[in-house]
Amino acid sequence: MSGTPEQAIQVRELRKTYVVPEREGGLAAAARSLVRRRTREVPAVAGISFDVAPGEIVGFLGPNGAGKTTTLKVLSGLLHPTSGEVTALGHVPWQRETAFLRRMTLIMGQRNQLAWDIPVVDSFDLNRAIYQIPAAEYRERVKELVELLELEELLRKPVRNLSLGERMKCEVAGSLLHRPDVLFLDEPTIGLDVTMQRRIRNFIAHYTERTGATTLLTSHYMADVEALCRRVLVIHHGQLLYDGDLAGLVTRFSPHKTIVIDLEPSGPAVDGRIEALVGSPDWLVSHAEDRLTLRVPRSETAAVTTRLLANLQVADVIVEEPPIDEVIDLVFAAGPADAQAKDAR
């Protein structure tokens, strides 16, 4: 084992291609496939590279099938890549060395790892034994997790009797008992209600802050990513479209800002002057009653706002970035050609 690596995770030109059997429907096709099986190659990850520094929390964004889960599975050692180099904590993940496995965890929102039929606390105890957690530390950690996640009532129940949210809280707690240095979280909040999502999210934030654990997270919920990750990786069709901070993502892919202006109802009529004041008729999205909504190029935002404030009787003004989900849609629409984002972080 090498010493402490400078990067917690290094990925170079990672590729993973699945070979899947393929046949058309129907009896004849089924008979033909007995003799000769046709297969098709499906590239899930098509050559991505990135580094993650110790303690960094990185969000993976991408539509279904983008290659997020495949990448996490390679990083955690479940999958052999087709090609490329990966190290995590100085280990090659898929060799699944004990020293590596003891320092990491993979939490999948759609899979459970706790034994279905036995009380949660028994599963915890099994993890204590497997990860060789000293008894005193184990008690202390369980106590802390029970308080933070409010597990008291759940510990004695078999997992199958828990609700989805309760189960997820227990999954998260059980996966962190051994204090992993690297966390791979694949949709940890999927299917949970908003309150439970927030609770899990807050807890993960708390854990990473306290332990300095390196974390890679995928989620369909932007709220998770916004709350936890300063840096995001956007992948689409197995390729990395963007690697940088969340704010930069918005600047890069959404060249517009939205300005909403509420006029004083008692003020003079403005109908004739609006277009001249705004600067371009294309920028005016709507004008209804006393409210103007504009979509203005980023570079013009300040000038336009100043002009409007100086010439109109304004009651209120809001300048905002477009919703992050819209930006993400834009990124996916743009595709790899437009977004060879090798931004210096």
Binding site for another protein (CB under 8 A): 18-19, 70, 73, 76-80, 94, 96, 98, 101-102, 105-106, 108, 111, 113, 115, 117-119, 122-123, 125-126, 128-132, 158
Q: Is 49 exposed, middle or buried (0-12, 13-18, 19+ CB in 10 A)?
A: middle
Q: How far is the CB of 19 from another protein (least distance, A)?
A: 8
Spatial distance between the Cα atoms of 336 and 319, rounded to a whole number of angstroms? 30
Closest to another protein by CB, 67 vs 244, is 67
Q: How far is the CB of 110 from another protein (least distance, A)?
A: 9
Q: How far is the CB of 168 from another protein (least distance, A)?
A: 15
Q: How far is the CB of 146 from another protein (least distance, A)?
A: 19
Q: How far is the CB of 101 from another protein (least distance, A)?
A: 4
Closest to another protein by CB, 84 vs 158, is 158
Residue 82 neighbours by CB under 8 Å, 6+ apart: 15, 16, 17
Q: Contact, 151 vs 169, CB < 8 A? A: yes
Q: How far is the CB of 129 from another protein (least distance, A)?
A: 4
- Mutual orientation of helices 194-211 and 164-176 as an angle, nearest 10°? 10
Closest to another protein by CB, 113 vs 301, is 113
Q: How far is the CB of 102 from another protein (least distance, A)?
A: 5
Closest to another protein by CB, 135 vs 344, is 135
Tokens 């972080």 correspond to 345
Q: How far is the CB of 76 from another protein (least distance, A)?
A: 6
DSSP of 185-227, one letter per residue? Answer: EESTTTT--HHHHHHHHHHHHHHHHHH--EEEEE-S-HHHHHH
Q: How far is the CB of 138 from another protein (least distance, A)?
A: 11
Closest to another protein by CB, 62 vs 174, is 174
Closest to another protein by CB, 182 vs 241, is 182
Tokens 């998770």 correspond to 224
The one-letter code for the residue type at 340 is Q
Q: Is 171 exposed, middle or buried (0-12, 13-18, 19+ CB in 10 A)?
A: buried
Structural tokens at position 317: 């003004």
Q: State the pairing for strand pair 83-88/9-22.
A: antiparallel
Closest to another protein by CB, 102 vs 256, is 102
Q: Is 60 exposed, middle or buried (0-12, 13-18, 19+ CB in 10 A)?
A: buried
Q: Contact, 86 vs 258, CB < 8 A? A: no
Closest to another protein by CB, 83 vs 340, is 83
Structural tokens at position 284: 């005016």
341 φ, ψ (degrees, to nearest 5) = -85, 95
Instruction: Quickly count: other Cβ atoms within 10 Å of residue 193's Cβ.
Output: 12
Closest to another protein by CB, 171 vs 243, is 171
The one-letter code for the residue type at 61 is L
